[in-house]
Chains A and B, each alone.
Chain A
Amino acid sequence: MIARRVGLTAFALVLVGLTFAWAGPRAAFLVAIGLGFGLVLEGLRFGFAGPWRAMVADRDARGLLAQLGAIGVTAAVALPLLAMAPNELSGAHAPVGIGMILGAFVFGIAMQIVLGCGSGTLVNAGSGNIVGLVALAGFVAGSFAGTLHLGFWTGLGTLPTLTLQGIAGPTGGLVLTLAGLAAVGAVAWRRAEAGKRIPPVRLWIAAGLIAVLAILNLVVAGQSWGIVYGLGLWGAKVAQAGGADLAATAFWSAPANAERLGASILTDVTSLTNIGLIAGAYLAMRWKSDPGAPPAALTVPSWVAVLVAGLVLGYSARMAFGCNVGAFFSGISTGSLHGWVWFAAAFAGSGLGLRLRPRLLVQRAMIHRGQPA
């Protein structure tokens, strides 16, 4: 056990050291931040899809309240930082639109089918959940496909990008953000059953650590924590290696995206934290004395459903200008109105996804016991 943990610690140090040697100090810091995200999310079991499911299905508000707490702490530091250094830092600000709302709703459905969101899919894959690994492959393909059609979805009708600090000023924006989080928290508290309201210490610690890591991400990368952009870039890299000419596409010919496509993955801040997150989840899983049982084997149609759900997760996240991290967590914590709209639409979609999951995912053992497929 001790030898394995020494080996895991050495692995983390080597990963950060190699990144430093290859791509410089900022890349190394971002991989280290990603490692932190993976360790906290997997090690302290802090998630997004599971707590939403618990809120809807079990009237258990503890996980959701921890999420809101993490977002609030992040906002309390991030919004003043953004006001202080507008030329060096940028928030996760995106416009509200018809395609964006539809994308968030569909994302909410899919995240309950695979029980994994943007960060959750990476954590699941890294921590050895084969359902998460299959979903991740679909996520990469879907988020790339979404970049090819983004112009169509935004063309359906999109408002200008609105932020709460743009409407009410820096202090007013922070007050509105914290008041909104408190209001959502109050509703969740009221709807929760007694005994399922106060998050345990583990979740408070995790929420605090996630907030610290998200703030560090903003300070080091210059932009908020995200997931989907990196996965779409990975898909674009694979497509380009396969001979696709992406210079003709609107998204990948835009200067910022074209630069990322031509440069090393290790220059993309989102890819760096994604890599660290997967590795961190692996380390947290291997650190435990018992890594846990593998998920139950699924039927072939169910595996196909997982792959398709992953693809839908990626595509819809691109439509929605982010997933639970880029839109919900980072959008709200940096004052973007689209983060709030994303939350409402995705939460509604989650309710539908919870009803669909038992119909779409069927375990082999259930069929052997004669249960309907």
Chain B
Amino acid sequence: MSITRPTVGLIALALVAVLVGADALLSAPIDPWEVPPPAALGSGQAPAGAHCSAG
């Protein structure tokens, strides 16, 4: 018997939640006063440069 689609979808979401949770324990915490402005356009800031097309 195959595992149902809703169950597999929940497993995918759970794995993402575990990744984000574990990362929160290991990475530098986010400073709420240092978060970037809502949108890059008009912010005056350069983009981070971390993209698939970057080497």
Contact = CB atoms under 8 A, between A and B. Distances in A.
Interface of A: 22-27, 29, 81, 85, 87-90, 92-95, 125-130, 133, 136, 150, 154, 218-224, 226-229, 233-234, 237-238, 240-241, 251, 256-257, 259-260, 262-270, 275, 278-279, 281-282, 285-286, 291-297, 317-318, 321-323, 325-327, 330-331, 336, 338
A95 to B, nearest CB: 8
Given A133-B12, A234-B19, A295-B2, A336 B53 contact: yes
Given A88-B46, A262-B28, A220 B40 contact: yes
List the 9 closest pairs (A to B, CB-CB), nearest first.
A128-B5, A222-B40, A24-B35, A326-B52, A222-B47, A128-B9, A322-B52, A94-B53, A294-B2
B19 to A, nearest CB: 6
A254 B50 CA distance: 10
22 contacts: A26-B40, A90-B49, A92-B52, A125-B12, A128-B8, A130-B2, A130-B3, A218-B41, A219-B41, A220-B40, A222-B48, A257-B50, A259-B48, A262-B27, A264-B27, A270-B50, A282-B13, A285-B6, A327-B52, A327-B53, A331-B53, A338-B53
Contacts of B51: 90, 92, 223-224, 226, 229, 270, 326
Given A128-B5, A130-B8, A265-B19, A229 B52 contact: yes
Contacts of B29: 264
Contacts of A338: 53
A8 to B, nearest CB: 11
A126 to B, nearest CB: 5
Contact of A321 (B6, B10, B16, B55): B55
Given A88-B46, A88-B47, A322 B53 contact: yes
Contacts of B46: 87-88, 222
Instruction: Identify the interface centre among B26, B45, B55: most chain A CB within 10 Å of its CB.
Output: B55
Contact of A285 (B5, B11, B37): B5
Nearest to A284: B9
Secondary structure at the B interface, as helix, strand, loop or mixed, is loop
A291 B3 CA distance: 13
Interface string B13-46: 1001001101110111110100111111111111
Given A136-B12, A260-B48, A25 B2 contact: no
Contact of B47 (A24, A136, A223, A266): A223
B39 A220 contact: yes
A80 to B, nearest CB: 12
Contact of A267 (B4, B30, B39): B30
A220 to B, nearest CB: 5
Contact of B52 (A23, A128, A256, A317): A317
Contacts of A266: 20, 30
